Amino acid sequence: MMKVMMANTVGRLCFRQKNILAPMVRVGTLPMRLLALDYGADIVYCEELIDIKMAQCERVENDVLQTIDFVAPDERVMFRTCSKESGRVVFQMGTADPERALAVAKLVENDVAAVDVNMGCPKEYSTKGGMGSALLSDPEKIEAILTTLVKGISKPVTCKIRILSTIEDTVNLVKRIEKTGVAAIAVHGRMKDERPRHPVHCDYIQAVAQSVSVPVIANGGSSDIVKEFEDIETFRESTGASSVMLARAAMWNPSVFRQQGALSVDQVMQEYITYAVRYDNNPFNTKYCLCQMLRDRVESPFGKRLHAAQTNQEICEVFGMTELFNKTTAELESRRASLQASEDLSETPELEDDVVIMPVRFERRDYPPQITPKMFLLEWSRKEKLEQPVYETEQRSQDRGFQSTVIVADKKYRSTLWEKSKKFAEQAAALVCLRTLGLPEGRIGEEHSGLVNKRKRDDRKTTAADNDDDESHAPKRHTHTLPQEEEVTCRTKVVNGVCGQTAR
């Protein structure tokens, strides 16, 4: 149920005169971001996401939730976004490596408005491996990361820092950052060893704002200065910054962005839950955010009931919102069934020239670990004493999508849908063949066919979600990017370690 999604066509994000939701670990997930936008925030940052974890993710278009999900190999959704925040969501990453940062930025750039590098968080979650505020002592690495991102992606690049021990040092660092070409710099007005109980240093932020021409975003005013909407402008004026970024004040009550005045926390929590259910938010994340809003009420009988809840349904029961949960769940299930029915109807084999085609998408989560359609097709071919399947893969230059054709018993099979990876394209082609022939494919819940017996493998070679070790006897293939005007399918055979290409 994945489709090619058009690149974000919203105009380049501006960081001047904006009220912004700050990046907050475990808080800045989709429901909180959407709620902040509803209340008046101009820009929202997601929680910091570590580059190593994001680099392993697959981009999935979730047609049921109508979201774009970045899914880790363990099926955990690391980052979820939707059209409602399009053009206003900034992806923040934790990184200490320019090339890895670029790989992640390229993965998400079409689905976000800008990319931010965390250079200010002092917590171990961020500083281990040289990320977060640890970068403040390595300006050369800061320059390398930001320069690589600015040159490598089409979207604006920003960073968020903490102040250094002196105004002079802070200004010097920010001037170096400005030269990398960033679109804005967020400055938390505390040093990395200071905590919320320490006063925010507005004079440092003011000095930074006066020393550079790029927008400076003031951060750190929650509690000290910003308690209600009118205080946002006070903080802006006291720092001379272009924009203001709120963390704790928004975490406690995101309606602080509401120009007409804040709503009651109880109403805000109900509206938060509505989004959490609608977008199938992780229940433990939902509960965490609600507990932050409860603050001193978290130890009350009501707070303890919330803390005991284990699912979004149980959370809704605590808040008397069971009817909303049931209605929303029914709507999502109806959409899922409709999409499945549509998909099933469309999966009718057709003959195009000499190729059997079908619109099939490979969904890795539908198959057990180490079981793939390619494995089933290979085993069936062996059982029938046929030559093993041969895959021909091509790649479109315009969107780098992949499409494979599998040749079995001198017949060709291909999915009409383009995949984001070569491996998934080959799996889709195998599925077309298996379904055309009416063969088992190994899906979860499918009756055991006895066609494939699990073979022993080296665990070190099976850590990837789909590493094809189960087909280690098949000929290895190589894919080349094809010209946009003239796409040519290439087959590469590896013989004695030397690659020989045959154009077809």
Residues labelled as active-site residues: 121
Q: Which two tokens stand for residue 170?
A: 């802070």
CA 116 – CA 135 distance, rounded (Å): 14
Centre a 10 Å sphere on the Cβ of residue 307 and count the other Cβ atoms it contains. 14
CA 378 – CA 143 distance, rounded (Å): 50
Using the CB atoms, write b or e for 229-240: b if 16+ within 10 Å.
bebbeebbebbb
Q: Which residues pair with 217 in a beta bridge?
A: 186, 243
**Three-state DSSP class for 295?**
helix
Burial class (CB in 10 A: 0-12, 13-18, 19+), 6: exposed
- What is the chain's alpha carbon radius of gyration, rounded to the nearest angstrom? 26
Burial class (CB in 10 A: 0-12, 13-18, 19+), 138: middle
DSSP 129: G
Q: Residues near 345 by Cβ (< 8 Å), separated by ≥ 6? A: none
CB 44 within 8 A of CB 85: yes
Q: Which two tokens stand for residue 16?
A: 């001047």
Q: How far is CA 105 from CA 51, 143, 154, in A?
A: 9, 16, 10
Q: How many CA atoms lie within 13 A of 91 on its CB side?
A: 32
Dihedral angle at the C-alpha atoms of 52, 58, 59, 62, nearest 10 degrees?
A: -130
Place of tokens 């912004």: 20
Dihedral angle at the C-alpha atoms of 52, 58, 60, 65, nearest 10 degrees?
A: -40
Instruction: State the distance between the two ends of the chain, measured CA to CA, in whole angstroms.
Output: 31
Helix H or strand E encompassing 482: strand 481-482
